[in-house]
Structure 1
Amino acid sequence: MKYFDGSTIQQLLQYDDLIEALGQCHLGSMPDSSHMLRSEPDNGNNQFVALVGWQKNEIIAVKLVGVFPDNLKLEPAQPSIQGVVVAFNAKTGTPDFAADGAEMTFRKTAGVSGLGCRLLAREDAETLLIVGAGGLALHVLQAHCAARPSIKQVLIWNRTFAKAEALAKLWSTQARTVRAVCDLPMATRNADIISCVTMSDKPLIEGQYLKAGAHLDLIGAYLPTMREADNDAMIKGRIFVDTRQNMEGAGDLCQPVEQGLMGWDAVRGDLFDLCTKRVNARHSDNEITIFKNVGGGHLDLFTAQFLARKTK
């Protein structure tokens, strides 16, 4: 059985191609998938996730990953996401390959948000704001720039300014200006696209600062107790998700619903709806769009499927 390490996956799964492939996958039907999330006993911060996706007669993808936030504080630091993705032949059950779970998760998550950006953000978007500077932030930056080549300026905000500066230096290019910022409201006012990649339990993006026509991408807040955008932002924006499966557990959605500020019908569609054009995407240049990246086993399957095709 073949094994693909992180550097190999980086070379094979370029964001331009991955976003296109994910879009094509959403023209078909939803594969069977299941999801299990377990938290550390006694209210610990660590979590373990098991996801299974099954595309009949083609591929079964199983992802097993741990999310251990405090790994970043170790000496030396270790990735907060670690694990493995294993692909099986769906006709015989034979294991085909294994791949680095962290890199596959980064690529899948960023690629899905990149697809949401391609479908929902204004085509003339020029300023991208990344909120958060952890391991996923660079991937999200690259995916959004692949989705919207019109981006000329990237702003990076993080609670620890030095981390935002380090990320900005890591990805400085001649084609785009990349810089760290410390004033989040001001950056929000200027941003055409905002992508949040945090572990925040309190809203960071305030709706009062969103500019007309902005696209807001929410990747964190995968638990009911977490938030990245306030109620004002959620009410102002036209909301889409990558998948409706398990969206009830996302804090940015379930909290305003529980507070009676909106209903679940506020979610206008998912990626299957958008890619097949069953629902309209952006109605006007002034409309604020919101994409909540929920995640799911079928998305890991689509990513593993693309990796399999790239290595044939």
Structure 2
Amino acid sequence: MRIVTGNDIRSVCSWPFAVEALRAGHMLAPAELRDSLVENSGRKMLVRTAWIAGLASGVKAVTIYPENPSQQPPRPSVQGQVLLFDEAGGHVVAVLEGVDLTAWKTGGDSALGSSCLSRPDVKTMLMVGAGSMARPLIDAHRSVRPSLDTVMIWNRNIARAEELAKALGADGITAKAVADLDDAVSRADLISSATMSLEPLIKGGALKKGAHVDLVGAYTPTMREADDAVLTRGRFFVDSYATTIGHIGEVMIPMASGVISRDDIQGDMHDLVQGKAGRQSDDEITVFKNGGGAHLDVMIAHAVYGAVDNL
């Protein structure tokens, strides 16, 4: 068994590496998935398992402490580990550091979705939220859409948005913090949202024609980042039926109210990667729900383990 540290992961990972690992994984049959979520005083423990026939199986166990980034010293809001099992023999081949792997998995999932759904000529990106996933998502989207030349950042605490914009600027990326979310939504070609919001932030009525919306943050039955109009104006896709329907408020709440039905979901990541679904015109709005799931962690972990083991 190999211990794969965050440094090991960073030594072999890049956004093209992560995206292609996920693309290859979605050419296989869908994974068998099971999740368990325990909550205590706003803190959460999430255990996700996945078995991908012909590839590997794995378990991801993480804690989610939303207040950690504001502590002194700051700590990650998400902490945990991934166990990777040999698919043929059933033995543990690696234990991988979970924080770094989660960032590559989450950003890679959204970037792969964007590569299938967003217009190839997108220029302006809006990042909603300036937390720990904001920079990985910006970098991931820019890796598959190099036409992006401007990044707007909105955050409830605008000082954090300004800090991120300054860091992006130092790396040669044109970026600015914005205070008016609706106005920024109306000007963005690509919107990525990663917040802990319980109430919709993105209004469908503000979306421009041809926009792509990447919804990342909502991961519990009570969380939402987009209002009903986002889902009814756009063609709606999910990364996995199994991890979104019946699990995430972004899908559950509008389904329960009758705003959308199962038939309104146009496809999952398997359909997108295999060319069975996708954008149909330049003017249509596309919406992608990044629901996560241990199958994505297993795909990335398997690729990372193979790359690290060959060093």
**Normalised-by-shorter TM-score class:** over 0.9
Give the distance between the partners of 1:48 and 1:232, measured in 2 at CA. 32
The two structures, once aligned, show a CA RMSD in angstroms of 1.4
Give the distance between the partners of 1:117 and 1:191, measured in 2 at CA. 14
In the TM superposition, residue 167 of structure 1 has moved relative to its aligned partner by 1.2
Q: Could you say which residue in structure 2 is the equivalent of 1:253?
A: 251
Residue by residue over 1:57-110, the C-alpha shift from the partner in whole angstroms, topping out at 9 and shown as x without a partner, is 642221111011121232212111001112122233332221111111111011
Relative to structure 1, the CA distance from residue 175 to residue 71 in structure 2 (aligned partners, 3 Å threshold; closer, same or farther) is closer
What does residue range 196-215 of structure 1 map to in structure 2 within 5 Å? 196-215=193-212
Q: Could you say which residue in structure 1 is the equivalent of 2:100?
A: 103
Q: Could you say which residue in structure 2 is the equivalent of 1:272?
A: 270
Matched, 1:139 2:136: yes
> Of residues 122, 125, 130 in structure 2, which corresponds to 1:125?
122
3-state SS of 1:188 partner: helix
What does residue range 273-292 of structure 1 map to in structure 2 within 5 Å? 273-279=271-277, 281-292=278-289
Give the distance between the partners of 1:55 and 1:207, measured in 2 at CA. 36
Q: Could you say which residue in structure 1 is the equivalent of 2:48?
A: 51
> Of residues 166, 169, 179 in structure 2, which corresponds to 1:182?
179
Give the distance between the partners of 2:52 and 2:248, measured in 1 at CA. 26
Matched, 1:20 2:17: no
Aligned AA for 1:72?
Answer: P
Residue by residue over 1:230-260, the C-alpha shift from the partner in whole angstroms, topping out at 9 and shown as x without a partner, is 1111110100000000312221211111111
Q: Could you say which residue in structure 2 is the equivalent of 1:31?
A: 31
Give the distance between the partners of 1:256 and 1:182, measured in 2 at CA. 28
Paired residues of 1:65 and 1:81 also in contact (CA < 8 A): yes
Q: Could you say which residue in structure 2 is the equivalent of 1:168?
A: 165
In the TM superposition, residue 187 of structure 1 has moved relative to its aligned partner by 0.9
In the TM superposition, residue 173 of structure 1 has moved relative to its aligned partner by 5.4
Q: Could you say which residue in structure 2 is the equivalent of 1:236?
A: 233
Q: Could you say which residue in structure 2 is the equivalent of 1:79?
A: 76
Q: Could you say which residue in structure 2 is the equivalent of 1:11?
A: 11
Q: TM-score, normalised by structure 2?
A: 0.95
In the TM superposition, residue 30 of structure 1 has moved relative to its aligned partner by 1.4
Give the distance between the partners of 1:29 and 1:185, measured in 2 at CA. 40
Identity %: 38
Paired residues of 2:29 and 2:52 also in contact (CA < 8 A): no
In the TM superposition, residue 128 of structure 1 has moved relative to its aligned partner by 0.7
Relative to structure 1, the CA distance from residue 3 to residue 160 in structure 2 (aligned partners, 3 Å threshold; closer, same or farther) is same
Paired residues of 2:185 and 2:207 also in contact (CA < 8 A): yes
In the TM superposition, residue 13 of structure 1 has moved relative to its aligned partner by 1.5
Relative to structure 1, the CA distance from residue 301 to residue 235 in structure 2 (aligned partners, 3 Å threshold; closer, same or farther) is same
Greater CA drift, 16-25 or 189-198: 16-25
Aligned AA for 1:80?
Answer: S
Aligned AA for 2:15?
Answer: Y
Q: TM-score, normalised by structure 1?
A: 0.95
The alignment of Structure 1 onto Structure 2 pairs a total of residues equal to 308
In the TM superposition, residue 224 of structure 1 has moved relative to its aligned partner by 1.9
**Unpaired segments ≥5 residues, structure 2:** none
Give the distance between the partners of 1:181 and 1:54, measured in 2 at CA. 42
Aligned AA for 2:260?
Answer: M
Give the distance between the partners of 2:248 and 2:218, measured in 1 at CA. 6
In the TM superposition, residue 176 of structure 1 has moved relative to its aligned partner by 3.1
3-state SS of 1:232 partner: helix
**Unpaired segments ≥5 residues, structure 1:** none
3-state SS of 1:291 partner: strand
Relative to structure 1, the CA distance from residue 141 to residue 191 in structure 2 (aligned partners, 3 Å threshold; closer, same or farther) is same
Aligned AA for 2:190?
Answer: I
Aligned AA for 1:26?
Answer: H
3-state SS of 1:268 partner: coil
Give the distance between the partners of 1:50 and 1:101, measured in 2 at CA. 12
Relative to structure 1, the CA distance from residue 252 to residue 78 in structure 2 (aligned partners, 3 Å threshold; closer, same or farther) is same
Paired residues of 1:121 and 1:215 also in contact (CA < 8 A): yes
Give the distance between the partners of 1:303 and 1:86, measured in 2 at CA. 12
Relative to structure 1, the CA distance from residue 198 to residue 148 in structure 2 (aligned partners, 3 Å threshold; closer, same or farther) is same
Paired residues of 1:151 and 1:176 also in contact (CA < 8 A): no
